[in-house]
Amino acid sequence: MGTRSTVIIVLNKQVLIDALLKVNPLPQELVDTECIHETEEAKYWLWGDIKWYETYPEIKTVMDYINELDENNFGFIENNEDYGFKIIGTPWEYGIRDCNYIDTPWGKEH
């Protein structure tokens, strides 16, 4: 059981360059997950209907990584079915907004 979430993470070009240069490599959990949208400025990852618990090692790894980034270089929104929205960084700078759904540049994600 447990509560489920929809989660989106967007990383900007500088974070991706740093990752390629191994200055701050992406966590394997992001490398292993296909990005759902890419622009010249950013990459987007989306998980739907996921148990996004920071007590899970793979989730903790991703959250530790993004929490170390400059907030202007990424966006994170979690929409938990029981607890609502958690927003970190500046997702609106990348066309992502929280409504009763997550609004992205390519359409709505629930």
Which whole number is the average pLDDT over 60-77? 97
Position 100 scores a pLDDT of: 65
> At a CB cut-off of 8 Å and minimum separation 6, what does 90 contact?
71, 72, 74, 75
Phi then psi dihedrals of residue 28, to 5 deg: -55, -30
Task: Look at the chain and report how many structural domains it folds into.
Answer: 1
Domain of residue 95, residue span:
5-109
- pLDDT of residue 110 exceeding 60, the answer is no
The pLDDT value recorded for residue 108 is 67
Q: What is the pLDDT of residues 79-99, one digit of tens each?
A: 998 888 999 999 999 999 877
3-state secondary structure of 1: coil
Distance of CA 88 to the CA centre of its chain: 9
Q: Which region among 1-15, 23-37, 90-104 has the lowest average model confidence (pLDDT)?
A: 90-104
